[in-house]
Amino acid sequence: MISTFKIVSYLEGISFLLILFVTMPLKYLMDMPEANKTVGMAHGILFVAYVALAVLVKSDKNWNGKTLGIVLICSLIPFGTFWMDKKYL
């Protein structure tokens, strides 16, 4: 379960960075929204998987509610999932 969560957190972090630094500038500066739709859908699926797996991993890693909250907040911060991997996994 933890190895799956690591993979999903890594992919979720990459998809978030792609949205922020590639597809959003393409959408708003170059009027090319297609990439944002595709990467946005993938990111949405990965985000939901990240949250679900974080809740499941909570019992495996014996996290308290505060730690789970930090892990979940890390998915909202650019580069947060990479830091979370080093710190909590």
Residues recorded for the chain: 89
Q: What is the pLDDT along the chain (89 residues), one digit of tens a residue?
A: 899 999 999 999 999 999 999 999 999 999 999 989 999 999 999 999 999 999 999 999 999 999 999 999 999 999 999 999 999 98
Instruction: Give the integer Cα–Cα distance in Å for 89 and 85.
Output: 5
| pTM for the whole structure | 0.91
Going from the C-alpha of 85 to that of each of 39, 41, 57, the distances in angstroms are 22, 23, 12
Q: Which residues contact 46 (CB under 8 A, 6 or more apart)?
A: 8, 11, 12, 15
- pLDDT score for 89: 86
- pLDDT score for 6: 96
